[in-house]
Amino acid sequence: GRAAVILDPTKARIALFRGNDPGATDTDSPPAVGHFGWFQLMVPAPADAAAFYGALTPWTLVADEAEGASPQWKASRNGKPAAGIIETPDEANFPPCWLPYVCVAEVEPVVAKAAALGAEVWVESMDVPGFGRFAVLSQAAGGMIALWTPEPAEAAEPAAAPAPAEGETPEA
């Protein structure tokens, strides 16, 4: 494959990569434990970032205009969620950056282990409806990462009851 690291117009660094099998990352499976499952770009001007990444990538970007919320965009590729772009929180003391989310079975035990190993907890574990539970950590050199337990798909959209087999009657 080939890769390059660029500084986007918002001053966030990103590595662009094209593997030998460009379709290898297209999957209908939910992200597995230990894999990166989400990426969040935090910048002062999310609309500018959305315009840049919308022109650069095959993503479809949609503004999420929830009342009272900070400006944010959701990126999707082939109808599947790919990333988010949000306004840097006022209390944040870091430059524009991409925050990778690693999937874990349970957030709290991994946060506790990371803290015991010297990580600093930036955002305590919290639930976000429709997304799951996450926490944000940094390590001594300043690298940041989020730990994430996705909300189960069945919690977001209940499965339909199976149809009765031929000759059976539905239970009341």
In 3D, which of 103, 65, 115 has the Cα closest to residue 86? Answer: 65
pTM for the model: 0.78
The per-residue pLDDT for range 63-112, each reduced to its tens digit, is 987 766 777 899 988 888 889 999 987 777 778 899 999 999 999 999 99
